[in-house]
Amino acid sequence: MGEQPMLRGSEPVAQRPTVSRTSDISVRTTERGLPIQLKIGAGEMSRAPDDLAREILSLCQLSALRLQVARRRDLLERGFTPAVIRGLNLATEEELAKAEEAASGDDEGPPETWMTSR
């Protein structure tokens, strides 16, 4: 799954960007998914705006889940009880696994176009 962000106090010290499958879009976010850094390759700028926006939003959501799971792990290691952590509404390992699977597995073949037969 990769290296997790290092946490100190309440702020992430280092976060690897969440990158699109094509590696042309990358985002860094807060734990709640607010983008703090966004890089978009020139080739992505020709995409339909709605499609590009959906991908950016999806990457922001995945980044937030990764950070929340890292925060949850950090708090558990520090001895906080599960009840306290539950109150923070942080993502679980299971939620992250589902999101990772969806992000890497939503290739359902080429999109249907006027060139494909029905």
Q: Which residue has the tokens 């306290």?
A: 84
The residue type found at 31 is E
Instruction: Check pLDDT > 60 for residue 102.
Output: yes
pLDDT (0 to 100) of residue 12: 47
pLDDT (0 to 100) of residue 104: 86
Bigger pLDDT: 4 or 67? 67
Q: Is 32 exposed, middle or buried (0-12, 13-18, 19+ CB in 10 A)?
A: exposed
CA 86 and chain centroid, separation: 20
Bigger pLDDT: 17 or 7? 17
Average pLDDT value for the chain: 84
CA angle 91, 89, 56 (to 5 degrees): 50
